[in-house]
Amino acid sequence: HNEALPVCLKAYEFYKERANGAPASLQAKAGISCAKIYAKLGNLKQAETYIREAVEMYEITCGETSPLTASAYHELGKVLWGQRKREDAQKALKRAYELEAMKDAWDLVTLLEVHNLLMDTHLKETANIDRAKFADYFATTD
């Protein structure tokens, strides 16, 4: 991973320069790749920065309901939960859950990964489980 990061960052900078300040999906895609490497290296804060930027870019360049946007929200939720930012992770994962469920050709494995991670944010490392919060997800599961 240490060897891959400089290559990935170079690609990110290339697409960023090419975009000339405008949001660009290729920059976002490279940013997600950098974020995944940072996360594997344990630098979740830096990973979060890249993913947040990618989410914004995907929403603008690909649309708010794009599969790329869904995937970016899933990655954001993973990184936020890894930092134990419970509420932010729940928001990101809820959005990923909604977007994954509305895909024309949804992937059950991905949907279950998002679901399980979202449930972890409610059930793990907490003294009190707020069951009322589960109602927020009923519309998605229907």
pLDDT, tens digit only, all 142 positions of the chain: 889 999 999 999 999 999 999 999 999 999 999 999 999 999 999 999 999 999 999 999 999 999 999 999 999 999 999 999 999 999 999 999 999 999 888 899 999 999 999 999 999 999 989 888 999 998 887 7
Smallest CA-to-CA distance from 106 within 57, 134, 141 is with: 141
Alpha carbon distance 13, 31 (integer Å)? 9
